[in-house]
Amino acid sequence: MSNSNKIIDTETMIENLGKQAKAAAKILASATTEQKNQALTVAADALRQHTPALLEANALDVLSVRKAGKAESFIDRLELNPERVEAMAVALESIAKLPDPIGRALAEFDRPNGLKITRVSTPIGVIGMIYESRPNVGADAGALCLKSGNTVILRGGSESLNSTRIIVECMAEGLRAANLPTTCIQLVDTDDRSAVAALLRCAEYVDLVIPRGGRGLVELVRNEAQVPTLLHLDGNNHIYIDKDADLAKALSIVKNAKLRRTGVCGATESLVVNQAIAAEFLPKLLNTLEHCEVRGDLAAQACDARINPANDADWDTEYLDAILSVKVVANLEEALDFIDQHSSKHTDAIITENAETAEVFMRAVDSAVVMHNASTQFSDGGEFGMGAEIGIATGKIHARGPVGLEQLTIFKYRVAGQGQIRP
């Protein structure tokens, strides 16, 4: 088959998925809260019932990427186990318990001419979700879109295709039980990369594309999309250790932020340390971060010989691995400048007991999530009480930070009159 024929095939596939999603969106927009919740709870049960099949499919995905020589951090994001499948099911049930975001009166006001105007939350419509290795993203995205009244076209990473097929079928069981179209949640069932480009051009049917993955994917979407996008950039996250930090608290937080799960976007990748405490703090840090490579500037290396030299690329790298870069700075102002230059605007934190310093940091750092005395791994929709998340939006339009139900809605104005005409 020629490349041109492949492009035509994927264009046709995406167009058909788009048509079906658009038709299903009209039905889903009128679905009751009870229907949506039933679909989610039945889908959660289906995940549990089909756990053996899902783990078997996932094992095939993992075997394939191992043969391809992928890093262990990549495999960790891809690999499922009974606990992770249960967490997916619990997330669906949590979303079912949340208030329905559709139909809320966001504002109401009366005009002098007697018109009554109400701003009401509505679904966005058809969402294209493009994501990489983590199969649980398909379940979270499907559930959040369903509860917020949106249909979704899932284009997961080719490396997780076997797993995603089972997950989407479990979601379909829930939709059938609730008498909703299974086309509310559809899968781009191909590993052909031209399908991504086709989805980005499907402006007639797709209302919003959300990419979740590495910088390469996000930049591809940003450069080629003809559909509105909600960007989720990589998590090059920083923690600044202030001169007034509680060092024991800082060690505990950094260990968790870096090593709890190195492959998640909320993991800390870069540490910024005030020079006043660097000589005391960094040797303790090296003792705490077992099996973690630390790369630092000359000032950091002078504090501990175990710190390897960092190069310019390290400051802009999302490692997603047991690697941490360290920059020593003279003061808060220098820390803010460094973070502003190198952060991906995802999540950045400060460790300090000085409330005034913390307030300056929280106001000055221009990231979607800023934290004080807490692990950056809390940057997660589930931890924010959203049940789950589609990702962390790093832009500044429509939604920012964890994207949950509320962020997947838009609004319309309802205007009620009694025969008024405009003079």
Query: Given strand 347-351, what is the order of strands in its sheet?
Result: 308-309, 293-296, 323-329, 268-274, 237-241, 347-351, 369-372
pLDDT band at 2 (very low <50, low <70, confident <90, very high): very low
Q: Per-residue DSSP letters for 22-77?
A: HHHHHHHTT--HHHHHHHHHHHHHHHHHTHHHHHHHHHHHHHHHHHTT--HHHHHH
Q: pLDDT value at position 379?
A: 94
Q: pLDDT value at position 408?
A: 95
Per residue in 82-141, pLDDT (tens digit) is 999 999 999 999 999 999 999 999 999 999 999 999 999 999 999 999 998 889 999 999
pLDDT band at 241 (very low <50, low <70, confident <90, very high): very high
3-state secondary structure at position 108: strand
pLDDT band at 387 (very low <50, low <70, confident <90, very high): confident
pLDDT band at 322 (very low <50, low <70, confident <90, very high): very high
Cα separations (Å) of 20 from 26, 51, 237, 409? Answer: 10, 28, 39, 20
Cα separations (Å) of 43 from 48, 85, 88, 138, 154? Answer: 9, 12, 10, 13, 16
Q: pLDDT value at position 134?
A: 87
Mean pLDDT over all residues of the chain?
Answer: 93
* Nearest alpha carbon to residue 349 among 271, 252, 234: 271
Cα separations (Å) of 206 from 152, 248, 397? Answer: 9, 50, 18
Name residue 379's amino acid: S
Cα separations (Å) of 275 from 5, 241, 310, 354, 372? Answer: 60, 10, 17, 16, 19
Say how far residue 351 (Cα) sits from the centre of its chain: 24
**Which residues are CB-neighbours of 324 under 8 A, at least 6 positions away?**
258, 268, 269, 270, 271, 289, 292, 293, 294, 295
**Taking residues 147-161, what's their average pLDDT?**
95
CA distance 13 to 107: 41
Q: pLDDT value at position 6?
A: 52
Question: Would you say 33 and 213 are in contact if contact means Cβ atoms under 8 Å apart?
Answer: no
What pTM was estimated for this model as a whole? 0.85
**Which residues are CB-neighbours of 50 under 8 A, at least 6 positions away?**
166, 169, 170
How much of the chain exceeds pLDDT 70, in percent? 98
Q: pLDDT value at position 74?
A: 83
Q: pLDDT value at position 213?
A: 76
Name residue 390's amino acid: I
**Taking residues 279-288, what's their average pLDDT?**
97
Question: Would you say 328 and 275 are in contact if contact means Cβ atoms under 8 Å apart?
Answer: yes
pLDDT band at 233 (very low <50, low <70, confident <90, very high): confident
Per residue in 326-385, pLDDT (tens digit) is 999 999 999 999 999 999 999 999 999 999 999 999 999 999 999 999 999 999 988 998
Per residue in 3-41, pLDDT (tens digit) is 445 555 899 999 999 999 999 999 999 999 999 999 999
